[in-house]
Structure 1
Amino acid sequence: MAKIMISGATGLLGRALLKELSKEHDTVGLGFSRAQPPILKVDLFDKKALQQVFSENTPEFFIHSAAERNPDKFDNDPESSIKLNCAVTEQIARCCEQFGCKLIFISTDYVFDGRNPPYAEDAATSPLNLYGESKARSEAMLLKDYPSAAIARIPVLYGEVNALKESAVTIIAEQLIKGVRAFDHDSLRFPTNTADIARVLRQAIEVIGKELNGVYHISAQEMMTKLEMAKTMAPALNIDSATLVAAEIDENAAPRPKDCALKDTRLCATGIEIDSRFSDAINTVLAPHLSH
């Protein structure tokens, strides 16, 4: 049993990590605006508070999943978003080094521009937007100054949500319910269940342990556009998928890469991989939010 601390424990991925890892390990969840016991309320911008929570809990692993993930929010408030994604990450890395804790940093496929997929773990980063740039900057800092840290790049996520708008995937269902029938059919995505990410990280901790370091890619393998995701969800919402069409590209949105397929050359070699089907998993996720 390992002592594992998770930042962003009230978020989409953080909740899944807490649920999965708590089965076999001693977990400590950190949150802020939505934190309720037993999740500890900690301001990650407060260096003293961060030091104190490390000192009092002495984790063996720290999974840093707290982040600003919405590319469009970066354009609206780049300073605070970059501070959260970069300065906080460096402070957590310092604490991990000080307390002998293994850092697992959650990154993104958006560190790539989508022009040369699939991307192996050692591919050069080339982000198109500020969100991807903030993650690429933190990755570079960790690889240079904290080489014992592990970096887990992941794609767009879905999973158990408190409200459909909580993830970029399940919000498509909310839009369908509200009557939207046109969706992006240009950018290719690899929607991945947070439960699968949590399971893979649990297995990585248990199989590889403190030897985890460098970059790892964790992703489902089904390639879909938002339109294709919408068509997959439509039957559960009693909507005719034939009525759904491709939308015009939104020129005002932050630029998104076309195809950031992540090639897993490291975890897959250990037998740790994702093989679940989107159509099955998304129906399970949507079910609690549908009125019958």
Structure 2
Amino acid sequence: MVFIDNLEAEISSMKTILTTGSNGLLGQKITEKVLAEGRVKLVATSKGDNRYPVKDGYEYAEMDILKSDEVREVIEKYQLDAIIHTAAMTNVDTCEANKELCNQLNVDAVQTLLSICEEKNIQLIHLSTDFVFDGAEGPYREEDAVNPVSYYGESKVLAEELLKNSEASWAVLRTILVYGITNDMSRSNIVLWAKGALEKSSPVNVVKDQWRMPTLAEDLAEACLLAVEKNAQGIYHVSGKDYMSIAGLVRKVADYWALDQSLINEISSVSLNQTAKRPVKTGFVLDKTIKDLGYNPHSFEEGLAILDRQMKKNY
């Protein structure tokens, strides 16, 4: 009887969170973590049908973040403690080419959520990016000055400013080059792209003059839940722990899966002639997130091993 009482008390004290973009890589990893570990009660939301293979153990609601009435209706249905906002327009060149849509998805939608969170005293965990920086002096600390070189980065700075100027309880988690795999993914990522191309013996062009700290999706999902549990406030940098060039990253992928490195052609960024400019060297100093949230990221090699086990088991 005492055990049952304690269990009921534990469940009732759990926070209830809502995720936007739950069909995306990060959204699915949060769902996976909640189902495996408990910790919070989850309401997953995304545009269209639920693509996560397990349908029990959490709520799912269709929600288009561009429809403010729909967003309000879904949020008001639940007694929420926090919202983890993962939905965004993240293709850097598409954002540059279609600034209006980028602004709607990356700025206006944040304002919608923020207004409701202020009104209902809900914590908002917002996902941002290393692209808020110009890449001249990375790795960066949370307090370093932002200076985006693309409209994608600019839209994320605008969203961060909305949070800073609000009365809501909020935390921004900036991240870098997220990789991982799920059962039903709408987009690939650099690790899966490189592995897939090299396995087909296709030559790949990769830039040698951009530097990043790739982030395992499971690590980012853990940081999101830690931010809720610890009621994080302010800006936090969340990435993997290893600093490398994009070309170096692809070589590590080739090395891990024993693929042909002679297929890797290292090129300069200017030769790509991309629509949007990219920062040269980003990367994060993780000290604050490790100290305040207890964040403990995997190494890149550990992340590849996790990915390898998942692909052998499930995909």
TM-score, scaled relative to structure 1 = 0.90
Shift of 1:170: 2.1
What's 2:277 paired with? 255
1:215-251, Cα deviation, whole Å (9 max, x unpaired): 1111112012222122112145442325533124312
One-letter identity of the residue aligned with 1:29: A
Alpha-carbon distance in 2 for matches of 1:113, 1:49: 36
Alpha-carbon distance in 2 for matches of 1:8, 1:120: 27
Shift of 1:253: 3.8
With 271-280 and 65-74 compared, the bigger mean Cα shift is at 271-280
What's 1:280 paired with? 302
Alpha-carbon distance in 1 for matches of 2:235, 2:248: 30
- Contact kept? 2:121, 2:169, Cα under 8 Å: no
2:56 equivalent to 1:32: no
State the 4+ residue runs in structure 1 displaced beyond 6 angstroms: none
What's 1:116 paired with? 137
What's 1:150 paired with? 171
What's 1:7 paired with? 20
Alpha-carbon distance in 1 for matches of 2:88, 2:186: 19
Structure with greater Cα Rg: 2
What's 2:148 paired with? 127
| Aligned-partner SS, 2:89 | coil
What's 2:75 paired with? 54
Report sequence identity in percent. Answer: 24
2:225 equivalent to 1:202: yes
RMSD between aligned alpha carbons? 2.2
Alpha-carbon distance in 2 for matches of 1:119, 1:25: 31
2:81 equivalent to 1:68: no
**How many aligned positions are there?**
288
Shift of 1:70: 1.0
1:44-71, Cα deviation, whole Å (9 max, x unpaired): 1111111111111121010001001110
What's 1:218 paired with? 238
Shift of 1:24: 1.9
- Contact kept? 2:213, 2:239, Cα under 8 Å: yes
What's 2:30 paired with? 17
Alpha-carbon distance in 1 for matches of 2:297, 2:113: 32
| Aligned-partner SS, 1:105 | strand
With 256-265 and 239-248 compared, the bigger mean Cα shift is at 239-248
1:116-146, Cα deviation, whole Å (9 max, x unpaired): 2222111111001011000000101110124
With 4-13 and 29-38 compared, the bigger mean Cα shift is at 29-38
One-letter identity of the residue aligned with 1:268: I
With 161-170 and 256-265 compared, the bigger mean Cα shift is at 161-170
- Contact kept? 1:12, 1:166, Cα under 8 Å: no
Alpha-carbon distance in 2 for matches of 1:99, 1:196: 29
What's 2:104 paired with? 83
Alpha-carbon distance in 2 for matches of 1:30, 1:67: 13
Shift of 1:286: 4.4
Change in Cα spacing, 1:215 to 1:108, as seen in structure 2 (3 Å) is same
Alpha-carbon distance in 1 for matches of 2:267, 2:104: 34
Q: 2:216 aligns with which of 182, 193, 199?
A: 193
| Aligned-partner SS, 2:66 | coil
Shift of 1:150: 0.9
**Structure 1: which 5+ runs fail to align?**
none
- Contact kept? 1:110, 1:257, Cα under 8 Å: yes
2:254 equivalent to 1:234: yes
Alpha-carbon distance in 1 for matches of 2:203, 2:185: 18
**Structure 2: which 5+ runs fail to align?**
1-13
Shift of 1:165: 5.1
TM-score, scaled relative to structure 2 = 0.84
